[in-house]
Amino acid sequence: MDIIIATNNAHKVEEFKRLLTPMGYEVYSLKDKAIQVEIEENGSTFAENAMIKAQTIYDMVHLPVIADDSGICVDALDGRPGIYSARYGGEGLDDHGRNLKLLEELQGVTNRTGRFVCSIAYIDAKGEKHSFEGICEGVIGFEEKGENGFGYDPLFLVGEKSFAQLSGAEKDALSHRGKANRLLCAYIAEQK
């Protein structure tokens, strides 16, 4: 079955491919299908933003679509950056810049607990909408560690390691996206 991942983020596409390809799915990015569209994520939750993206792409192609919205929620910052994780600190910042911004905001803070949240929206071939959520609890480190991953992965600690210090398989087993994807995959498998 063909599934389109509604993102231009190559790292997210690779994570979805790692999880869905072994199940027999052909996974395509927006780039693979030459889809160029700016989608305004104006929802107030991860789930709303994921469904906005999925619906926009589904309306264009009428094929199964998966979209996710995810981010990091830090307890000491009242859940920020939250749905603004990708734009935290301003549009011009890269991943490293956003990590530095987060470290700056947490300077002197001892309670560094937080979580990654991933909401996946799936619109099937019939146009029916489904949502799945995964959460991974952890702690925000004091410095970036590791070379793997992307986004806030170098700061997010699960046990003694950051997500950026884990292999792809290790991260998939623990991560918010891995958890949400397993729920999605279980649902899709039930429908066959």
- The 10s digit of each residue's pLDDT in 158-167 is 999 999 999 9
Q: What residues are designated binding site?
A: 7-12, 40, 69-70, 150-153, 171, 176-177
Chain segment 50-107, per-residue pLDDT in tens: 999 999 999 999 999 999 999 999 999 999 999 999 889 888 899 999 999 999 999 9
DSSP per position, 111-158 = --EEEEEEEEEEE-TT--EEEEEEEEEEEE-SS---SSS-TTTTTEEE
Q: What residues are designated binding site for Mg(2+)?
A: 40, 69
CA torsion, points 34, 36, 42, 47, in degrees to nearest 10? Answer: 10
pLDDT number for residue 113: 98
Tokens at residue 189, please? 């498998």
Domains of the chain in sequence order: 2-191 (3.90.950.10)
Which amino acids are annotated catalytic? 69
Model's pTM, two decimal places? 0.89
101 vs 152: CA distance, rounded Å: 11
Q: Is 3 helix (H, G, I), strand (E, B) or coil?
A: strand
Beta bridge partners of 69: 119
